[in-house]
Structure 1
Amino acid sequence: MRFRGKSIRRKIVALLLVPLVSLTAIWAFATVITGREAMQLLDASDIIDKAGQPAEDAVHAVQKERRQTLILLADPRQSDALPVLHSLQRRTDQAIDKLRAADSDGDVHGKMNDDSEEQLDNILKAADGLDSLRRKVEDDGISATQAYEYYNKLVDLCYTFRSSLHAVPDTDLDKQGRALVAMIRAREALSREDALYVSALTARKMTLADLQAMSDLIAERTLLYEINLPILPDSEQKVFADYRRTNAAPAALRVAEGKILSSMDPATAIKSLDQEHWEAAAQPVLNDYDRLGEEATDRLQKRIDPVASSVMLKAGIAGILGLIALIVSILVSFRIGRSLVRDLSRLRRDAQEVASVRLPSVMRRLGAGEQIDVETEAPRLDYGPDEMGQVGQALNTLQRAAVEAAVKQAELRQGVSDVFVNLARRSQVLLHRQLTLLDTMERRTEDTDELADLFRLDHMTTRMRRHAEGLVILSGAAPPGSGASRSS
């Protein structure tokens, strides 16, 4: 950026404008970032209600449909298996439709992050394949393992989507939200375990792969609790820990699972429990997990709201303080800039007055022979002690030095002139005496030759007196009255 030829006012404005623009940009950036963080926290609770809860409802519906599908594939001859499956499929469709509605809701969709939008799209794409899967199930064109894995994939997508909804700026709340989803996901491990064992009981046979899968699911459920429970707040840890320690349902489930896995023999495992005893052990825990998850989610939302309000308050305070600081900076910069311009303008005005008015006037008056008072023509000006004042003092000193030099030069010229005038007047006196003497001699002499010489000498003396008068005039003095010259 070039400012050559620009006024000092523009240069000062440009100099002050750069930090002000930078400060404004930083203030605006900080305000936007903080405000966006607060809005994300406020939106998180709303998104969990409008998108997270429908996703959880879809998980429950898919879990029930998966269980009934495996029962149908295990024994297609059951008369009530298909009607029950159709009823559960309609519930699944209703739950998926709620997710589609959330995806179509511009307000909800606008509050999601890019990851959440992508995960929701993946859920809906997977849900589009349910009709094809269901036809294959009814036509016995798919194995139980394939159907089981398809439903598992759909549920996994739902939980991945739910985890992405808890991506909030607050690190602790983000970790707690993801840990809570993992805790809720432990219910899915039990649901898969339930579907595998019930389908095995229905088919009256169990493979070693099914038994190993149940063992892995039990280990996965335990691992999910052990990893994620410490991440939750102490109050939440106490709720889940008390349930596992004091409630009879988890203990009964552990006993049932112990019987099934006691020998890791499929034939023994299928005979360990009948469907009634298994459901009596598994269903209460499934229901309790569901209840605990919903209650923990509600408490998480209640923890988010105060944090969001606090962040919003801090954002407001920071924005106001930043605005005040910006205004103060503008005012201070304006005053400083105006002060600089005023001081520089004064210096320019004083310098121009000295160069254009005072010094030329002093020189004219000195040339006219006037007496000059230095204190009057170049008074001592009062400037501040800062750098600008020092420049002003230097200019004032320079002005006084110039006037004093001019006065001294004039005095020197006047002294020289007086010397010349004095010499000229002395010469005039001598010449006047010489003329008087010549006149007397001319009157006394009678010799013609001598008289001619005296006349020539008189003429030369008269010319010398006129030259002396010219010297007096050139020295600046008034010419005195002269006597009549005598010349032949």
Structure 2
Amino acid sequence: MLLLPLLSLSALWGFVLNLTMGDAQSLLRAGTLYQTLGVTSTDLGLQLQAERVRSAEALTTRELTEALGGQRARTDRSVGEFRQAVTEAGDAAGNLGRPLGTLMGALDQLGSIRADIDNGLSSRLSGLNEYNRILDSIFLLYDHLVSVSDLGILQQASSLQAMGMAREQIAREHALVIGALADGRLTEPETAAFTEYAASRRFLHARGLAGLEVTLRRPYEQIFASESFQTFLSLEARIVRTGAPPPDAAGWTETISSLTSQLDKHGLAAAEVLAARTSEAATATVAEIAIAGGVGLIAVLASIIISVRFGRRLARELGGLRAAAVELSEQRLPDIVERLRKGEDIDVRKEAKAIKVSGSAEITDVARAFGSVQRTAVTAAVGQAALRRGVGQVFLNLARRKQGLLHRQLALLDGMQRRTHDPDRLEELFRLDHLTTRMRRHAESLIVLSGSAPGRAWRKPVPVIDIVRAAVAEVEDYTRVAVEAMPVSAFDGGAAADLTHLLAELVENATIYSPPDTQVQVRGDQVSNGYAVEIEDKGPGLSAPEYAAFNTLLADPPEFDLADSDRLGLFVVARLAARHGIKVLLRRSPFGGTTAIVLVPREMVTEQTALTAGDSGEEMAALPSRTRKKALAVVTSGTHAGLPRRVRQAGPSSRLQPSEEPAPGQPADRSPDEVRDLFSAFQRGTQRAREEAQDEGDK
């Protein structure tokens, strides 16, 4: 939070410092350039002007004199010194690349210019113009040398530059006149050039004089008021007017020498004054930068130190608040919710303790707000738990009442079955008995969802095959369920009712979500971790995400959501499995349907070596009368112990067939005598079961 403002402040300080340092560096660079390029280029210009005058005489007389040779030697030395100055300037001349390149290229042409003059290939005006182009390159360099950030210095440097260029125009006039004095005439192009030089000189003098300050302008005003300058003006006007050189060559030369000497002397003095001012301004700017930058740096450092200390304190306070909030969200509230799920009573005042943090007012305000949120959350959780308990109690009360009514209904049905010998009526009573058994299972589902346990339990272990057959008997479409042979074993009697209920829910789910003309296979086997029961259907199956979601629910059942009634059976299975440590897993069957695997832990499994697969009558004795009677009706074929055994149909139930004709392979309808014998056997079995149940109650 504090890093960004500090970085912004540091960046702003650096930016301002860089701008100010840029101004100082510009002034210092201007002084360096003046001491190197400025001095040497000025001398180079003077030498080129002198060589131009000597070359004008040679172009007129076509004679190469010693004076011209000596001047060329001095010019060459000046060129060498200038090149050396460029090297010494180094990085300071970095922004002068274009004007320096232009001047260096012009100086490289100096040899060819001299050769044309020596060989008589150049006219007087064209030869002088070649020198003029070199001098123009020097003045272009001067324009870039005076690019400083100080406006006052820049204005004075520009004015002095204009006075220097006016001095160059006088030198050009002098070169033309010297050439013309040798043959006594000015050509028409030369006269036009002289007129142009005179006009440029007047404009540059006016421009430069107007921009100079008093101390620098006064010497120029004195020069312009001198006799030599006035004489020059009159001679210049005469040449422009007549187009002929002055008659007095010595007078012209003396006037020009006196005038240019004064101009050069004052120009050099003015340049030195301006250079000194530039150096002083640079020094003052650097001093200001040092003071301002130092103060700014101290301010930045002080801000950093204060911000770091404040940030550390704030971080400690926020760290304490964060730790308290994390403890609240990840430990205290989940612990309270878990305790509420277990049915414990929670004291809101005791559990919703205030969050104790120290620090600024804002931190304590946030802590109080968290405390308020905590109290609200705990109160809401307690209220939700109370609501769930209330709903569960409603479920339990309704289920108990419904259970009592169903038990009474089953007792009435039992009595009616004993008193009835009509086969048709016995069949209807049997169907009603089956429907009532299913209703009893649904009532027990409500008891399971309420968090309570059904009342049915047995002291002795119950054979696995009996539990499986009893579960199948509680399914509406039990005729489609095929129970394969299973290893003889038994489950703990205390969990027999819950296991029967769990398997019944899974078998019913398999029959509902599979085509009506298919069978549901139920098989079991002993495994290393206990006993596994598999229920496989031929339905369309589920997607991988759906299997994952259902298996998660079965492994860790959440709180029952009243809005999610579509998964009521899975919630019941999950609750029953969690109660006894049973693992239930759904996966795709190799045939395309779904296989439900129920793994009963080893501690709930008891080996029953004394039992055999054929002793179904003895096995059934372990179940209650109602469940035993239903199980006997759906299991095997043949007869046993005087009871007829029902042969499993080869196809779907007759009520699922589109026509009234029996399906191929389906057994023919029983005769009335067989039906009578069947239900008489049911009646005798019921009587025996009631007696055994009475004996169990007496125990």
> Is TM (by shorter chain) over 0.5?
yes
Change over 3 Å in CA distance of 1:346–1:202 after alignment to 2 = same
Which residue is 1:112 aligned to? 93
Pair 1:182-2:162 in alignment: yes
Name the one with the larger helix percent.
1
**Number of equivalent positions:** 383
Task: Report SS of the residue matched to 2:65.
Answer: helix
Which residue is 1:202 aligned to? 182
Change over 3 Å in CA distance of 1:407–1:33 after alignment to 2 = closer
Change over 3 Å in CA distance of 1:281–1:400 after alignment to 2 = same
Which residue is 2:202 aligned to? 222
The answer to whether the Cα contact below 8 Å between 1:374 and 1:404 also exists between their aligned partners in 2 is no
Pair 1:157-2:140 in alignment: no
State the Cα distance separating 1:249 from its structure 2 match: 1.7
Larger Rg over CA atoms: 2
Of 65, 71, 74, 2:57 maps to 71
Q: Distance in 2 between matches of 1:398 and 1:125?
A: 83
Change over 3 Å in CA distance of 1:396–1:222 after alignment to 2 = same
Change over 3 Å in CA distance of 1:235–1:389 after alignment to 2 = same
State the Cα distance separating 1:353 from its structure 2 match: 6.1
The one-letter code of the counterpart of 1:163 is: D
Q: Distance in 1 between matches of 2:202 and 2:115?
A: 36
Of 4, 8, 14, 1:28 maps to 14
Which residue is 1:387 aligned to? 362
Pair 1:274-2:253 in alignment: no
Pair 1:49-2:35 in alignment: yes
Q: Distance in 2 between matches of 1:208 and 1:275?
A: 20
Q: Distance in 1 between matches of 2:62 and 2:326?
A: 110
State the Cα distance separating 1:276 from its structure 2 match: 0.4
Of 64, 81, 84, 1:98 maps to 81
Which residue is 2:642 aligned to? none
Q: Distance in 2 between matches of 1:151 and 1:373?
A: 104
State the Cα distance separating 1:123 from its structure 2 match: 1.7
Of 114, 118, 121, 1:141 maps to 121
Which residue is 2:305 aligned to? 331
Moved more, 294-303 or 235-244: 235-244
The answer to whether the Cα contact below 8 Å between 2:358 and 2:364 also exists between their aligned partners in 1 is yes
The one-letter code of the counterpart of 1:253 is: F
The answer to whether the Cα contact below 8 Å between 1:383 and 1:392 also exists between their aligned partners in 2 is no
Pair 1:256-2:235 in alignment: yes
The answer to whether the Cα contact below 8 Å between 2:352 and 2:374 also exists between their aligned partners in 1 is no
Q: Distance in 2 between matches of 1:402 and 1:150?
A: 96
Which residue is 1:318 aligned to? 292
Q: Distance in 2 between matches of 1:159 and 1:398?
A: 81
Please list the CA deviations of residues 451-480 of structure 1 after superposition, one character each: whole Å capped at 9, or x if unmatched.
xxxxxxxxxxxxxxxxxxxxxxxxxxxxxx
Higher RCO structure, 1 or 2 (CA under 8 Å, sep 6+): 1
Moved more, 387-396 or 219-228: 387-396
Pair 1:166-2:146 in alignment: yes
State the Cα distance separating 1:407 from its structure 2 match: 12
Please list the CA deviations of residues 358-410 of structure 1 after superposition, one character each: whole Å capped at 9, or x if unmatched.
9979x99xx9x99x9969994795866733221212234456778999999xx
After TM superposition, the structure 1 = structure 2 runs for residues 358-437 of structure 1, keeping only pairs within 5 Å, are: 378=353, 386-397=361-372
Change over 3 Å in CA distance of 1:322–1:273 after alignment to 2 = same
Which residue is 2:268 aligned to? 294
Q: Distance in 1 between matches of 2:6 and 2:160?
A: 47
Q: Distance in 2 between matches of 1:352 and 1:119?
A: 70
The answer to whether the Cα contact below 8 Å between 1:253 and 1:281 also exists between their aligned partners in 2 is yes
Q: Distance in 2 between matches of 1:68 and 1:379?
A: 104
Q: Distance in 2 between matches of 1:38 and 1:259?
A: 50
Change over 3 Å in CA distance of 1:402–1:20 after alignment to 2 = closer
Which residue is 2:321 aligned to? 347
Please list the CA deviations of residues 31-66 of structure 1 after superposition, one character each: whole Å capped at 9, or x if unmatched.
233223212211211211211111111111111111
State the Cα distance separating 1:197 from its structure 2 match: 0.9
Q: Distance in 1 between matches of 2:60 and 2:380?
A: 122
The answer to whether the Cα contact below 8 Å between 2:321 and 2:357 also exists between their aligned partners in 1 is no
The answer to whether the Cα contact below 8 Å between 2:54 and 2:68 also exists between their aligned partners in 1 is yes
Change over 3 Å in CA distance of 1:142–1:351 after alignment to 2 = closer
State the Cα distance separating 1:16 from its structure 2 match: 2.8
The answer to whether the Cα contact below 8 Å between 1:193 and 1:217 also exists between their aligned partners in 2 is yes
Q: Distance in 1 between matches of 2:348 and 2:62?
A: 128
State the Cα distance separating 1:357 from its structure 2 match: 6.9
State the Cα distance separating 1:25 from its structure 2 match: 2.6
Q: Percent identity?
A: 27
Change over 3 Å in CA distance of 1:391–1:213 after alignment to 2 = same
> What TM-score comes out, normalization by structure 2 length?
0.50
Q: Distance in 2 between matches of 1:385 and 1:21?
A: 25
Pair 1:87-2:66 in alignment: no
CA-based RMSD:
3.4
The answer to whether the Cα contact below 8 Å between 1:190 and 1:217 also exists between their aligned partners in 2 is yes
Which residue is 1:192 aligned to? 172
After TM superposition, the structure 1 = structure 2 runs for residues 458-469 of structure 1, keeping only pairs within 5 Å, are: none
Q: Distance in 1 between matches of 2:236 and 2:21?
A: 51
Change over 3 Å in CA distance of 1:407–1:193 after alignment to 2 = closer
State the Cα distance separating 1:193 from its structure 2 match: 0.5
> What TM-score comes out, normalization by structure 1 length?
0.70
The answer to whether the Cα contact below 8 Å between 2:27 and 2:278 also exists between their aligned partners in 1 is yes
Moved more, 204-213 or 82-91: 204-213
Q: Distance in 1 between matches of 2:350 and 2:72?
A: 109
Q: Distance in 2 between matches of 1:218 and 1:312?
A: 44
Q: Distance in 2 between matches of 1:138 and 1:404?
A: 113
Change over 3 Å in CA distance of 1:241–1:407 after alignment to 2 = same
Q: Distance in 2 between matches of 1:258 and 1:31?
A: 56
Of 247, 257, 265, 2:242 maps to 265
The answer to whether the Cα contact below 8 Å between 2:23 and 2:149 also exists between their aligned partners in 1 is yes
After TM superposition, the structure 1 = structure 2 runs for residues 465-484 of structure 1, keeping only pairs within 5 Å, are: none
Q: Distance in 1 between matches of 2:222 and 2:40?
A: 29
Task: Report SS of the residue matched to 1:325.
Answer: helix
The one-letter code of the counterpart of 2:363 is: M
Change over 3 Å in CA distance of 1:276–1:376 after alignment to 2 = same
Task: Report SS of the residue matched to 1:112.
Answer: helix
Q: Distance in 1 between matches of 2:249 and 2:23?
A: 51
Q: For structure 2, list consecutive stretches of 5 or more residues without a partner in the other structure.
A: 384-699
